[in-house]
Homo-oligomer: A and B are copies of this chain.
Amino acid sequence: MAQANDSPLVTAAVLVIGNEILSGRTQDANLVYIAKGLAAQGVILREARVIPDIPDIIIATVNELRAKFDYVFTTGGIGPTHDDITSECVARAFGVKLILHPVAHKLFSDYYKAGELNEARLRMAMVPEGATLIANPISLAPGFNIGNVYVMAGIPSIMQVMFDGVKQGLRGGPPVLSRTINCGVPEGLLAKGLGEIQDRYADLDIGSYPYSRRGQFNVALVLRGRDAQRLDAAKAEVAALIRDLGGTPVEE
C-alpha cells in the first residue's frame, strides 16, 4: 500500500511454528487475530510464514524476518514437551544463552506443589538471556520478547492474551482504516472502472474479493488507507461505478 502521509511505515511478520499446521491437522486461528490487532495499531503486516519444528529452519527464519521487518511475532512451540523448541531456537538465533528467568521461576515455584516442578515444566521458565516476559494469565507459562521478536504460545486463547498484553506498547503509525462495499456485479464488468479509481487513488489500496454465498457470486470491494476523507471519496466513486453498471452497492 502506498503511504497516505509522511510517517514511515512500521512493518511486521508473523511466524507460525508447528508441524500441526503444515500437516493440515490444525487450522491456524492466530494469524487473523494478530493481523487485525496490528492494523489497529498502525503496523503493516507484510508477511506470514508457517514453518516446521526443525531447529535450523526456525533459527534461519527468525534471523531473516527480524532483519527484514520492524516486528516479528511467533506462535507455537513454547510448551514443556520435546517438540517445543522455539525458545532455544530464538536464543540461538540471537546468539545468547537460554537461561532460567528468575521471575518465571518464582511464578512456577509458587504455583506448583513440592515435587511437581519437574524438568519439563522448568523448561517453560527458560528464556533467551536479556528477554523480558510476556504474561500468560491463563496457564502461567510466559511468552517473551527479545529485540524485535515476540514469542507467544500457539493455543489461540493464550496467544490472544499475550498479544493483547504487548500490542499497546508497539510503535505504529496511524491506524489503517477501511471501507467495504459489496455488490453482485461480476468482477469482469467492474474491473475497468475499478482499476481507473485505483489509479486516481494511488495512496489507497483497493481490493476486489469475490465470494460465493448460497451459489451466488458476490464481490466485496475493500478500500484501505490512512486518510478517512480520501477513503470516503474513493468509496463514493466505487458506489457510483456499481450503480452505473446496474448494481446495488451495499456498504458493510
Q: A: which residues have CB within 8 A of B?
A: 1, 18-29, 31-39, 45-53, 79-84, 116, 118-121, 123-124, 139, 155, 157, 176, 178, 187-192, 194-195, 198, 205-212, 217, 222, 224
Contacts and interface: CB of A to CB of B under 8 A. Distances in A.
Given A23-B36, A82-B191, 20 more contacts: A19-B205, A22-B45, A23-B39, A25-B222, A46-B52, A47-B49, A47-B50, A47-B52, A79-B210, A83-B206, A116-B188, A118-B188, A118-B191, A120-B188, A120-B192, A123-B191, A124-B188, A139-B217, A155-B212, A157-B212
A209 B157 CA distance: 14
A149 to B, nearest CB: 18
B23 A82 contact: no
Given A20-B207, A23-B178, A222-B20, A187 B81 contact: yes
- Most chain B Cβ neighbours within 10 Å, of A21, A52, A120, A188: A188
Given A80-B188, A119-B192, A155-B211, A176 B45 contact: no
Nearest to A50: B48
A25 B179 CA distance: 12
Nearest to A22: B45
B49 A81 contact: no
Given A36-B24, A119-B192, A187-B79, A31 B50 contact: yes
